[in-house]
Amino acid sequence: RLLRGDVAKREGAWATWPRAGSSGPGSERGVSDSVHPLWESVDLVPGGDRQSPINIWWRDSVYDPGLKPLTISYDPATCLHVWNNGYSFLVEFEDSTDKSVIKGGPLEHNYRLKQFHFHWGAIDAWGSEHTVDSKCFPAELHLVHWNAVKFENFEDAALEENGLVVIGVFLKLGKHHKELQKLVDTLPSIKHKDTLVEFGSFDPSCLMPTCPDYWTYSGSLTTPPLSESVTWIIKKQPVEVDHDQLEQFRTLLFTSEGEKEKRMVDNFRPLQPLMNRTVRSSFRHDYVLNVRAKSKPATSQATP
């Protein structure tokens, strides 16, 4: 089950954010119960019943043989720039035509790539938004796509049911990721909020794991306005990055030039309740069979 201490640590992520414009007594101690400006005007409980992120219980996910592999076709030439939006860094794509799209999987039609970004922790012990069997990963990649069949533009799609598809990929600690490094190398030039640098010709499918398996469920944006417009596709297999690459993420700042520097870390939303939702898996899993198979030798050993 959930480790209370770890969850409290994760959920206390914003505890040290200095209150915006604060100058009253105590502010110089740097201790405050305030939150990142992005979350300042948001209700604590948005009241929805399909909010994200969630913990995925592997054994509670339901295999759906109708879930076909996802088809990803991105045109590297549609990549535009990378910018620090004060909460993450976003790589944005030209999306006026169907050049970079995903289809298949749980989707009825094409969805166009708009941008991708990451969420990460202050240390390697946490940082992902979704968790699997309560396990946190140090970071999570989100590739955000919109439904250009039903909607005129990304902004409209983001507010409506079936408007968006986000592919989530867990990053885990391991070997150096050569393709990610090309992106990491741009980060020193977008250290401050609202800075942007050209980033041409990049195919984000190089950041995907090779295994086609995924979970899917209906959820929401994990930043305000938290709209319940997202079909989530969470890849089962994480990709490996090294500690230095995650450290480079942590050199970014939430703050603009001239403001008191605040490191961009712990930019994830706390877990939300599953409520009345089912997480479907594209892959067969034999959790119960494994438990039975493993318990057999133990039983025979206990027999004198």
In the complex, the residues that contact Zn ion under the rule CB under 5 A are 142
Q: Cα 301 vs. chain centroid, distance in angstroms? A: 44
Q: Which is nearer to Zn ion, 142 or 193 (CB)?
A: 142
Residue closer to Zn ion (CB basis): 90 or 274: 90
**Residue 119 Cβ vs Zn ion, minimum distance, rounded to whole Å:** 6
Among residues 9 and 142, whose Cβ is nearest to Zn ion?
142
Q: For the residues of 160-228, what is the DSSP string, one character each?
A: STT-EEEEEEEEEE-S--HHHHHHHTTGGGG-STT-EEE--S--GGGGS-S---EEEEEE--SSTT--S
The alpha carbon dihedral of 243, 248, 252, 258 has a sign of positive
The distance of closest approach from Cβ of residue 233 to Zn ion in the complex, given in angstroms and rounded to an integer, is: 13
**Least distance in angstroms from the C-beta of 291 to Zn ion:** 34
Q: Are 209 and 168 in contact (CB under 8 A)?
A: no
Question: What is the phi/psi pair of residue 229, to 5°?
Answer: -120, 10
Residue with CB nearest Zn ion?
142
* Residue 157 backbone zone (phi > 0: left; psi -120 to 50: alpha; other: beta): alpha
The distance of closest approach from Cβ of residue 151 to Zn ion in the complex, given in angstroms and rounded to an integer, is 20
Q: Least distance (Å) from Zn ion to the CB of residue 116?
A: 9
Min separation Cβ 14 and Zn ion, Å: 16
Q: Supply φ then ψ for residue 198, to 5 degrees.
A: -55, 140
Report the half-sphere exposure of 109 (CA within 13 A, side-chain side). Answer: 11
Give bridge partners of residue 84 from the DSSP assignment. Answer: 89
Which residue number, 142 or 177, has a Cβ lying nearer to Zn ion?
142
Residue among 68 and 172 whose Cβ is closer to Zn ion? 172
Residue 293's Cβ-side half-sphere holds a number of Cα atoms within 13 Å equal to: 5
The smaller minimum CB distance to Zn ion, of residues 11 and 108, is found at 11
